[in-house]
Amino acid sequence: MTSNSEQLAVQERVALPTETMTIMMGPVHPAMHGTVRVVVTVDGERIVHADVQVGYLHRGFEKECESVTWGQVFPYTDRLNYVSPILNNVGYAMAVEKLLDLEVPERAEYIRVISGELSRIGDHLTCIAAIAMEMGAFSIFLYCVRARDIVYDRLEELTGARVTHAFCRVGGVKDDIPEGWLEKVRGGFDEITGVIDDIDGLLTKNRIFLDRTQGVGVVSMADAISSGFTGPVGRASGIDYDVRKDHAYGVYDRLDFDVPVMDAGDTFCRYYVRMEEVRQSLRIIDQAIDQIEPGPVKAEGAHRVVLPTKNETYNTIEGMIRHFKLVVDGIQVPEGEAYTYVEGGNGELGFYCVSDGSGVPVKVRCRPPCFIVTGQLGNMLVGHTLADVVPIFGSLNMIGGECDR
């Protein structure tokens, strides 16, 4: 970032004296993701200062969680990073399971991995689509959306909802996978890989794309570390950190995959890391499909946590009472606090939950990875032209719902 400013200072010395101008980008702007405002001060085309203002989208996620039962929080987590809801579901479920000291059945863990990685593919494809489209490559957007639709179709078949799945439950997942679903998932690989290869061929060595992305919005590794960057944006700056690898949760330790890391820290690296991660996610799903065994998908014997089946609920009074108590009073989570973190679409997604022993959370705090990344956007923009705002911002993949402050 300093190099950008120095460059600017040199240019200023030779240029004619000009006046600065303040331009509002957002909160409602066709090229902005979510409702965020960037107040840019430009000197001609060059940005001399950028003030990023989040908070235009505020649902009060954390406060909402304090008035619902532990189980009712899941739909809210869906709406954090709404492009990869299952990853959020898993992160929150793990926090409650940690408080309950509850073991999740293996099959449920595999389903979480498969559906979660599908979500991640959807997330990355969305981001790649946006970066390219905002620089005029509209076909790329359509290619990505076509591939993402395969992901959405599979998730819809699994969860019943296309976008906000609310699929995880404390102690497992909502349902077992439908018959023949795993084969269908595998059947979509070729098309997704094909799209990624096409995009790779169209963009990665494309002079125009490289000119617009290489050396643009650079974040050094030191800056990235001191700002707390994680995920694809952190890895593009050389931080070799992936929660799935470094703090393996679920069954990730049984799966073989690589963590792509690049050093330049520019928009291009952030694009390319995501491309590679899509391929790695497919690898993970492929192995998970091989390894998954039949079994229960909800913690067995945890009658005070897991809802009874519909058959039990409507035909036995025991099931009816359990269902009622779990829905109305909520899962009685023992007093305590827990922090769990998973690799979300944008980096380390953490949930810090505090319980007072009742059915309602005292606090659910979310560590949103893209909020931290967006915090550095202002510094990244300085020195670049106004036209660079959109690709740089796009490559951070800020999701308004997750940035909810």
Contact residues toward another protein (CB under 8 A) are 303-304, 308, 312, 314-322, 324-325, 328-329, 358-360
Instruction: Assign 3-class secondary structure to 178-210.
Output: CCCHHHHHHHCHHHHHHHHHHHHHHHHCCHHHH
Phi, psi dihedral angles at 402 (to 5 degrees): -75, -30
Residue 58 or 303 having the CB closest to another protein: 303
**How far apart are CB 356 and another protein at their closest, in Å?**
11
**Residue whose structure tokens are 């997942």:** 173
Residue 259 or 327 having the CB closest to another protein: 327
**How far apart are CB 76 and another protein at their closest, in Å?**
18
3-state secondary structure at position 100: helix
Length, in residues, of the chain: 405
Residue 227 or 358 having the CB closest to another protein: 358
3-state secondary structure at position 343: strand
Q: What amino acid is encoded at 276 in this protein?
A: E
**How far apart are CB 332 and another protein at their closest, in Å?**
9
Residue 53 or 358 having the CB closest to another protein: 358
> HSE-up of 262 (CA within 13 Å, CB side)?
21
**How far apart are CB 323 and another protein at their closest, in Å?**
8
3-state secondary structure at position 1: coil
CA neighbor of 264 nearest in space, from 210, 220, 324, 211? 220
CA neighbor of 253 nearest in space, from 367, 352, 88, 110? 110
Give CA separation, 236 vs 65, 208, 272, in Å. 34, 20, 8
CA neighbor of 346 nearest in space, from 330, 316, 366? 366
Residue 322 or 367 having the CB closest to another protein: 322
Which residues, other chains included, contact 315 with Cβ-Cβ below 8 Å and sequence gap of 6+? none
DSSP string, 155-168: HHHHHS-SS----E
**How far apart are CB 307 and another protein at their closest, in Å?**
12
**How far apart are CB 68 and another protein at their closest, in Å?**
11
Whole-angstrom distance, CA of residue 183 vs CA of residue 290: 11
Residue 20 or 309 having the CB closest to another protein: 309
**How far apart are CB 56 and another protein at their closest, in Å?**
32
**How far apart are CB 305 and another protein at their closest, in Å?**
10
**How far apart are CB 326 and another protein at their closest, in Å?**
9
Residue 164 or 332 having the CB closest to another protein: 332
Contact, 358 vs 100, CB < 8 A? Answer: no
Which residues, other chains included, contact 142 with Cβ-Cβ below 8 Å and sequence gap of 6+? none
**How far apart are CB 334 and another protein at their closest, in Å?**
14
Bond prior to 27 in cis (omega within 30° of 0): yes
Residue 64 or 198 having the CB closest to another protein: 64
3-state secondary structure at position 339: strand
